[in-house]
Amino acid sequence: MPYLLGLDISTTGAKALIIDESGKVIASHTTPQPISTPKPQWSEQNPSDWWNGIAESIRAALSQSGIGGDAIAAIGLTGQMHGLVLLDSAGNVLRPSILWNDQRTQEQCDAMTEKIGFKRLIQLTGNRALTGFTAPKILWVRQHEPDVYAKVAHILLPKDYIRFMLTGEYAMDVSDASGTSLLDVANRRWSNEVVDALEIPASWLPRVCEGPDITGGISEKAASETGLKAGTPVMGGGGDQAAGAVGVGAVKPGIVSLVVGTSGVVFAPLDKYAYEPDGRLHAFCHAVPGMWHFMGVMLSAAGSLQWFHDTLGHGESFDELLRPAAEIPPGSDGLLFLPYLTGERTPHPDPLARGAFVGLTVRHTRAHMARAVLEGVSFGLKDGFKLIANAGLPDDLEVRVSGGGAKSLLWKQILADVLGATLVSTNSTEGAAYGAALLAAVGAGVYPTVVTACAQTIQTSDAVTPSDQRAAYEKPYRLYENLYPALKATFAEI
């Protein structure tokens, strides 16, 4: 029986996951990763820590599984998107990686937008220029660290540095490349227009590939450090969101992935390229060949509930905190919550947006506030769904929900009512690493396509359908929609 290995280099951990050909998880190990914030708004990691962590996790997962490295048929990669890794001509790392959550590059984003044009940039790359993306980080290094910039020969993303260490090859899959602001997303290739406009040498960019494509084999050196067999194929893989969508089976139009984690992500597959003209949605290539996706991201989803718990429910379990909220009627008796505790991205790309309770009276209790938090986050996710629906997605959507927020039956019911959609859970709970392993299985010929792989390994359960309370959310949502425009100037002044 062939085994597949999924590797995930996230911001917090380096994960190795082994599955068999039926999709059953055989072993999993995660090595924690350090992070550095040398200045305010800066966020960096050392690529050497990623490699040491991944190598340790691979060895531990192989030991845990009881199989040898020669039993691994193929390897898939995933990881945090957007992080800038700069290498010299010998493959040496030139500086710590600047991560997705680093906020130092607004000046460079503005310069990119002015040079290329707001509309043209979105048309080509599917997205606004955002501080999290890779291209403005390159421009920042050019401006502030010219000695480093002068030595650059290769640009990679975090998971692709792991690929380089495993195989010696420079490659990047199109889903992850979509988050660089340098890819012609419609045509799944580097954009000469953007690269030339920004005066970034095209020779620095690796070849792009599809998620299941073979990009190289394990080198003798990597084999000795990991316990894997030399020559084992390594596939293109995908960025964490695209691989995570594969991991829950969101690989064709009509199946939407909804992640209610610290942030909230609405991920909708597309069978042709499209973009939101104002850049309020991300438009990326999917890790599935020939597919794209829209993605809406709200920054504080379950993070809002975590804040509420830590601030007003300390010492209680989440179940204890939310139990009284189930007795509060939909709309929380006129109490609304804006979940912009860390700024917002979709549908309002505004780092200055702030959270708020609106409509408080002496009649409201902590239970009202708890329910208002659940409803406010649900309304924020509905904003993303509405933008995606306007792109012409099917009305009859199956929403596959995951993340910590999905553990609350009350919250799932509120989401089903607010979104007007059936929510289901899946048997796969290993996230992006599981999707990366499935991409490896397709590349190795275990399955003919990604859609087939998902159909044969992922099952849905625990369906929650909209209730007769659905109509009760129409007015509260309309009021919620009016709050950000009314408070935007106040947020900025604060």
List active site positions: 240
Query: Residue 386 half-sphere exposure, CB side, CA atoms within 13 Å?
Result: 12
* Three-class HEC string of the chain: CCEEEEEEECCCEEEEEEEECCCCEEEEEEEECCCECCCCCCCEECHHHHHHHHHHHHHHHHHHHCCCECCEEEEEEEECCCCEEEECCCCCECCCEECCCCCCCHHHHHHHHHHHCHHHHHHHHCCCCCCCCHHHHHHHHHHHCHHHHCCCCEEECHHHHHHHHHHCCCEEEHHHHHHHCCEECCCCEECHHHHHHCCCCHHHCCEEECCCCEEEECCHHHHHHHCECCCCEEECCEEHHHHHHHHHCCCCCCEEEEEECCCEEEEEEECCCCCCCCCCCEEEECCCCCCEEEEEEECCCHHHHHHHHHHHCCCCCHHHHHCHHHHCCCCHHHCEEECCECEECCCCCECCCCCEEECCCCCCCHHHHHHHHHHHHHHHHHHHHHHHHCCCCCCCCEEEEECHHHHCHHHHHHHHHHHCCEEEEECCCCCHHHHHHHHHHHHCCCCCCHHHHHHHHCCEEEEECCCCCHHHHHHHHHHHHHHHHHHHHHHHHC
